[in-house]
Amino acid sequence: MTGIQPAGSVASEPALRIMAILNVTPDSFSDGGRYSDPQKAAEAALRLVDDGADIIDVGGESTRPGAEPVSTDQELGRVIPVIEAIRARIAAPISIDTRKPEVARLAIAAGASIWNDVSALTCSAESPDLAARLGCDVVLMHAQGDPQTMQRAPSYSDVVGEVHDFLEARVTACLAAGIARERIYVDPGIGFGKTLEHNLALLRALPRFKAIAPVLLGASRKRFIAGLDRDVAPTDRIGGSIAAALAGAAAGVAVVRVHDVAETRQALAVWSAISPMQRSQ
């Protein structure tokens, strides 16, 4: 089963991978309501791969600030038919963006190979053991609070230190549960219980998180971009999203999770052709 790492890669620092966001939700903050039909979702996934996506991240529950939780059955009803339709047409790795072990288990049975969990496998005590048994890649993301309340009053005494220590502790717990080290990715969780200043501090500190595990960065179209540019709507945040992806590339992250795949791929191609660090590798 293929996970985040390209099959057969032996490079010491593998190329940056693009994870494309495919939300099958009615209410996601940027692309909600577009892909509820499985065949339409599979066609969108094909286009995303054509555009340069290495991984398709399927999500059935919005985690935008204030989002209402959905039941396991509702989430399964959204994501499983979509994963099956994508798997039938596309070889690229599929990731399931869920906090629920039952959704992850059935998504992986349907053809996903990566469990992307915004709760860092803390939502259920059984999640780390299950991930170890499934043998999937895992993305452990930091969040302060849950989506319903997380943006009310985010507070840290040292945001970078606290996120770092949380991610390190989650990696330790996952290793203890039997998840292989090379299957673990960490993510500082941009926008999940963070103010603009917290997000900027974390973006500046990306190289520190790399010391824990390969890093996934999800900054695409997020609110902090509007905080820096006239409160623009999510669909007008592509320039800011690309700037954040390039900052991630310069910091050596392993994966960027994005809505705008073609634009990000082009920016990364130009940046890596120019960057002296990339060319000397």
Residue carrying the six token digits 């053809």? 111
CB of 31 to ligand HH2, least distance (A): 7
Q: Which residues bind ligand HH2 (CB under 6 A)?
A: 21, 23, 25, 28-30, 59, 62-64, 97, 116, 118, 139, 141, 187, 189-190, 216, 218, 257
Q: Which is nearer to ligand HH2, 141 or 171 (CB)?
A: 141
Q: Which is nearer to ligand HH2, 134 or 215 (CB)?
A: 215
Helix, strand, coil % in the chain, rounded to nearest 5: 45, 15, 40
CB of 24 to ligand HH2, least distance (A): 9
Q: What is the DSSP letter of 68?
A: P
Q: Which is nearer to ligand HH2, 23 or 144 (CB)?
A: 23
CB of 276 to ligand HH2, least distance (A): 29
Is 194 one of the catalytic residues? no
Q: Which is nearer to ligand HH2, 49 or 97 (CB)?
A: 97
Q: Which is nearer to ligand HH2, 71 or 281 (CB)?
A: 71
Which residue from 234, 231, 236, 232 is spatially nearest to 222, judged by alpha carbons?
234
Angle at 201 between CA 144 and CA 218, to 5 degrees: 65
Based on C-alpha coordinates, what's the Rg of the chain? 17
As a dihedral over the C-alpha atoms of residue 112, residue 113, residue 117, residue 122, rounded to 10 degrees, the angle is: 120
- Catalytic choice (17, 105, 257, 265): 257
Beta strand 114-117 pairing with 137-141: parallel
Q: How far apart are CA 41 and CA 199, in angstroms?
A: 31
Helix (H, G, I), strand (E, B) or coil at 263: helix
Q: How far apart are CA 222 and CA 252, in angstroms?
A: 21
- Residue with smallest beta-carbon separation from ligand HH2: 218
Q: How far apart are CA 22 and CA 246, in angstroms?
A: 21
- Catalytic choice (78, 222, 223, 237): 222
Is 64 one of the catalytic residues? no
Active site residues: 222, 257
